Structure 1
Amino acid sequence: MDYLSGLPKHILHDILAKLPSKDAAKTIALSKAWKDTWFSFPYLSVDCGDFITKHDVPIKNSYRFSKIDILIDYVTKRMLRLCDQGLAIKQFLLDLKYSLHPPHGSQSHDVDHWIQMASENGVEVLELCLPISIGSIKEDIWYDLPLCVIEAKSLTELGLVGGIRVDKKNFNHSMKFSSVKLLSLGQVLFTHEGVIEHLISHCPLIEHLIVDYCCVYNHLSTEGPRVEMNCFLKSLFLNGLQKLKEVELRGIEETHIDLPNLENIWYSESKSDGFGLNFDSCTKLRCLCISYWSAPTIADKWFLELFSKYPLLESLELCDCSTSEKINIISSQLKVLKLQDCPNLIEVNIDAPNLLSFEYHGYKYRYYDYRNPVIYFSRDSNQLEVSVFTNLHFREFYTLSKFFENIPRKILASLSLFIDQLPNDRYLPALLVSSTPPAPSIKHLEFITPSVTNREAPFGPLMNFLFSSCFPRAISFRGCYRPYAFIEFFYEMLMGSRKGECFCSSGDRKCWWHALKIVRISYSCSFMVDENADFKGVLDELRRSGGMDSITFSLEL
């Protein structure tokens, strides 16, 4: 008996909502109950990639009309069926990223019609993704946001991405964004600087705001209004939004935030000749993430003042930021710290007794030169875990060892290494034996390696050295191209069939795999995760795909 089909319809809808769109659509073949469920499903997600690919679009800016017509017919019928039954369209997601340009002409009329139907039938979540048109001076390739969106009372989430234009004249009408809690604007064109602030200010219940490289007309152009790559928003002022907890801001030259209740800020600057973020009044700030902050340099004084100004700050992330050579992180509240690609750092002193997670990503100074600062921990929590992502050239094992000297060995949880180059010569084993072990007893060792065309190459001796030194509990390989020959070699080494490569005689300790008892394999790619994979099956999949996302060997010693 099919008990699943007999479940209440709202539960079946919840099941469909958790499935990819293609898989959800296939359920109509299961039974009449599932077919009825699909046709009453109030979540409509349309990705033109399911109908059209980049290869389907001819060079002369036109579609293969049979496929675009199929898409239009599919969406229209789904919409009309829901409307005819008097059912709400709770969610409408329309992704037309494979189009050559935003819809125009008859296609624009169809999109207008869909959005109108959704708006009139209680749409709560509306997301519209169109091709990006920044850099074009053509007026007719921008899709004008319909007035019905501005007037939709039921919206709780609105996402606009790509070649969408929001005109100032729309705001002559009363806005109905009183229920919007999430507003996401990416690469959207505004006809006037004040339009975006006007839009945001009419969302009194907004909790999460994303502004990602939006732009305005360049009215100074002698050729008339045009859109250029340098026309990103000059400024944004946020105030008076009592419910707003999170903001993500990218590509704005100057931002002023006067929101005492704000808790999270993600900020990426758009220029290199000044500091454009002011958030002094955000005294309840808990998370601060700053990226691409190049000028002025973040001095040590900034860090010392940061934690006194914002006593609740628990998470700090700096990515590709220009800092002083020496910084001090002193906080009894900080729990998460991440430093990534900060080129000037030479020394980092961390005094954070409640820190739970520290993540460091090395900076690439030159093609084969990676700078890792000296990192000191004055006090550390018993729960602290340190994760390191760095690059390794075969001549620089000693720098890796020096980097780990001041990091307590008990807290190093994972180490990810990108192997730039290894020589295929007879001197490598001797070089490895003479090097100092990097760090013992880590939980996870990950390799991000370039293409490996043969089975052993020079990677066998390197891995034997690192694994003997680190005693990892899990070993992952990620980012390889056509890696199956090397993975097969590594698996055979794990299983003890290649003991002729053993380096036991070069030191007092036994090779690490001598104590190895159990090997488990997990494999993940873009469409599946298998926690208990069969190695032969994984190898066959690698041969078919030519690559992988990640393969992990879990070890029990």
Structure 2
Amino acid sequence: MDQISGLPEVILHDILARLPDRDSARTSVLSKAWRETWSTFPILSICSDQLFRSQDVTVDNYHSKIDKVIDYVGRKSLRLRDLGLAIKEFKLIIDYVDHKCMAHHVDLWMKMAIESCGQVLHLQLGLPGYYVGRYSPDRLYELPLSVIESKSLTKLVLMGGIRVDQEFLTHSIKLYSVRIIKLCNLLFAHEGIIERLISHCPLIEDLTVVDCAVYNPPISGIPQVFAFSLVESLFLHGLHKLKKAYVQGMREVYIDAQNLESLRLNLDPDTSFKLNLYSCTNLRWLCLWSLRNIDIGDKWFLELFSKFPFLESLELYYCSMFQRINISSAQLKVLKLSYCSNMEELNIDARNLLSFAYEGVGDNKPGISFQKSSNQLEVNSLFTGVDFPGLCNLRKFVENIKPQKIWASVSLFIRSSVLTEPEQGAFQVSSIPPTIKRLELQFSPDYEAFYFPFMNYLLSSCCPNSISFSFRSYVHDKAFIQFLYETLMGRKEGKCHCSSSNTKCWWHALKIVKVICTFKIDENADFKTMLDALPTCCADENIGFILEL
């Protein structure tokens, strides 16, 4: 018996609000009750991909596609108006269309949402192949001044295909209730508009500014060419409520926010930068990208943890490091280093550290030691561009993680199929390899001739308690999974490197091999039946192996 449909309308609306837009719209076909609920749903969300696929839009059918959007919004908004319902949220996401021809309609929809005292405004517009400098500002949607006059807005999201003109520098801003602002890939007449807009939002808690640009009039003598450049600096003062910020594409960032807890900065790797986080002493999560113009060493980490005494999570991506790094922090709980060049040795003194992740390329495998560590510490590693020499060095990397007691919590993710034929006798097994908890394979060798040497190199470097797969497609990978299964079950035992010596390799020590699958199938099914039932496209369903020595 359907008891959900009988719930009060306010609860049903809350259920719809928690669903993805596409799933929320689909509920209207479930029953008459759900159709009525959808028609009175005070969230007006329009995504073009719900009405047509962007790849189907052509010059000939463009207007008919846009008419679908206009007709849908018109019917939905009139329904809400006739019922006397206010629009709490207005979301418009349209990709791969020219918005110049429908600017009038967008203006009307936004005016309607603002006059309804809407709380959320999400405008995301795209142009074919849009990037700064390809189109003149006249092709972009001109943001109306009424947006910054709304006293009821709590969330403002503006992304792509939108132009913000000079009038915003002097017009009155009344965004007194806004708590979340997201500005991405916008075109401003003056870079000072961003700072003025943000500074007039006294309650802002969550801020995102990504790759925004400024434009100038056409270059003299060169028709239809406009000068564009990324906004280079951002100075934020007196943001007493700000807790979370994400800034990308700037060269100079200054933030005065004493309650800031989370900050992500993605800087321009090809230019020098200035960073001043004045008074942000309560920072707890920090993520930095592309610090390549300075060498990060012991002094940098010492000053960082001294300046931010409550820092619990630190993530560094594509940063230039000293060869030998010492990190010491009593508060640090999460540490992630991704593609940080030059580093050869890393010593970590962090007794409360719960998670450490290291990502690298090929042979870049530093020695890592934990002087003090929590019993709950988990260490994860991901390597890209792995070839046979890289697999030979994998064992050394696992063995160089100290102390040995945390081996069981290491995860290794191998991807990027760049294997070449290994040299004969290049790798000899000497002993049972170190044990790790999980091994995930994100690719399989391209050629069947590489199956055995690849698995022999890999499983002679580390002995996982479990093996799982994360392939984009299983169409060509089922043969490799079948080979691995037969190898683990001992059916190819005679080909191993240890068969003529007293030293035994990884599969000779295997006691139990258990096949696991994440999809529903008869528990008594054999492996071939399981493999045949595995989807041919990328999905959550998978087959894996549990190993016991």
**TM over 0.5, yes or no?**
yes
Residues 1:122 and 2:117 are matched in the alignment? yes
For residues 44-83 of structure 1, the C-alpha deviation after alignment (integer angstroms, 9 at most, x for no partner) is: 322212223333233x5x6432222112111221122112
Q: Structure 1 residues 469, 95: CA separation in 2 closer, same or farther (over 3 Å shift)?
A: same
Q: Unmatched 5+ residue regions in structure 2?
A: none
2:240 and 2:73 map into 1 onto residues whose CA distance is 38
Q: Does the CA contact (< 8 Å) of 2:429 and 2:460 recur in 1? A: no
Equivalent in the alignment of 2:517: 521
For residues 429-472 of structure 1, the C-alpha deviation after alignment (integer angstroms, 9 at most, x for no partner) is: x54543776631x222111215646xx44224533554476443
Equivalent in the alignment of 1:298: 296
Equivalent in the alignment of 2:44: 44
1:539 and 1:19 map into 2 onto residues whose CA distance is 33
Displacement of 1:3 in angstroms is 1.4
Equivalent in the alignment of 2:405: 410
For residues 116-153 of structure 1, the C-alpha deviation after alignment (integer angstroms, 9 at most, x for no partner) is: 11112232122111124411351311111122221222
1:242 and 1:531 map into 2 onto residues whose CA distance is 55
Aligned partner of 2:282 among 277, 281, 284: 284
Equivalent in the alignment of 1:508: 504
Equivalent in the alignment of 2:100: 104
5 Å-filtered alignment, 1:88-487, equals 88-99=86-97, 101=98, 103-105=99-101, 107-131=102-126, 132-136=130-134, 138-218=136-216, 221-222=219-220, 228=227, 231-362=229-360, 364=361, 369-391=362-384, 392-407=386-401, 408-411=403-406, 412-418=409-415, 420-423=417-420, 427=424, 431-434=426-429, 439-440=434-435, 442-449=436-443, 452=446, 456-463=448-455, 466-467=458-459, 470-481=462-473, 482-486=475-479
Residues 1:33 and 2:33 are matched in the alignment? yes
2:194 and 2:51 map into 1 onto residues whose CA distance is 33
Q: Does the CA contact (< 8 Å) of 1:451 and 1:480 recur in 2? A: no
Aligned partner of 2:544 among 537, 553, 556: 553
Moved more, 79-88 or 18-27: 18-27
Displacement of 1:15 in angstroms is 2.3
The one-letter code matched in structure 2 to 1:378 is Q
1:438 and 1:162 map into 2 onto residues whose CA distance is 52
Displacement of 1:33 in angstroms is 0.9
The one-letter code matched in structure 2 to 1:30 is L
Displacement of 1:556 in angstroms is 6.4
Equivalent in the alignment of 2:72: 74
Q: Does the CA contact (< 8 Å) of 1:404 and 1:438 recur in 2? A: no
Equivalent in the alignment of 1:542: 535
For residues 267-322 of structure 1, the C-alpha deviation after alignment (integer angstroms, 9 at most, x for no partner) is: 01125332221114211111111001221333431112111121111111110012
1:170 and 1:531 map into 2 onto residues whose CA distance is 61
Displacement of 1:418 in angstroms is 2.1
For residues 70-112 of structure 1, the C-alpha deviation after alignment (integer angstroms, 9 at most, x for no partner) is: 121112211221122111222222111232x4x113x111111
The one-letter code matched in structure 2 to 1:462 is F
1:93 and 1:448 map into 2 onto residues whose CA distance is 36
Displacement of 1:341 in angstroms is 0.7
1:284 and 1:326 map into 2 onto residues whose CA distance is 29
Displacement of 1:404 in angstroms is 2.4
2:449 and 2:117 map into 1 onto residues whose CA distance is 61
Equivalent in the alignment of 1:489: 482
Q: Structure 1 residues 539, 129: CA separation in 2 closer, same or farther (over 3 Å shift)?
A: farther
What is the identity percentage for the equivalent residue pairs of Structure 1 and Structure 2?
44
Displacement of 1:27 in angstroms is 2.2
The one-letter code matched in structure 2 to 1:520 is I
Question: How high is the TM-score relative to the length of structure 2?
Answer: 0.88
Moved more, 87-96 or 182-191: 87-96
1:509 and 1:438 map into 2 onto residues whose CA distance is 8
Question: How high is the TM-score relative to the length of structure 1?
Answer: 0.87
Q: Structure 1 residues 487, 71: CA separation in 2 closer, same or farther (over 3 Å shift)?
A: farther
Q: Structure 1 residues 251, 159: CA separation in 2 closer, same or farther (over 3 Å shift)?
A: same
The one-letter code matched in structure 2 to 1:551 is N
Displacement of 1:180 in angstroms is 0.9
The one-letter code matched in structure 2 to 1:153 is K
Q: SS state of the match for residue 296, structure 2? A: coil
1:299 and 1:138 map into 2 onto residues whose CA distance is 45
Displacement of 1:176 in angstroms is 2.1
The one-letter code matched in structure 2 to 1:394 is F
Q: Does the CA contact (< 8 Å) of 2:206 and 2:243 recur in 1? A: yes
Displacement of 1:475 in angstroms is 1.9
C-alpha RMSD over aligned residues? 3.0
Q: Structure 1 residues 480, 3: CA separation in 2 closer, same or farther (over 3 Å shift)?
A: closer
2:460 and 2:15 map into 1 onto residues whose CA distance is 47
Q: SS state of the match for residue 483, structure 1? A: coil
Moved more, 39-48 or 187-196: 39-48
Moved more, 473-482 or 253-262: 473-482
Q: SS state of the match for residue 369, structure 2? A: strand
Q: Does the CA contact (< 8 Å) of 1:320 and 1:341 recur in 2? A: yes
Q: Does the CA contact (< 8 Å) of 1:433 and 1:465 recur in 2? A: no
Q: Does the CA contact (< 8 Å) of 1:219 and 1:225 recur in 2? A: no
Q: Structure 1 residues 437, 497: CA separation in 2 closer, same or farther (over 3 Å shift)?
A: closer
The one-letter code matched in structure 1 to 2:287 is C
Q: Does the CA contact (< 8 Å) of 1:317 and 1:338 recur in 2? A: yes
Q: Does the CA contact (< 8 Å) of 1:422 and 1:459 recur in 2? A: no
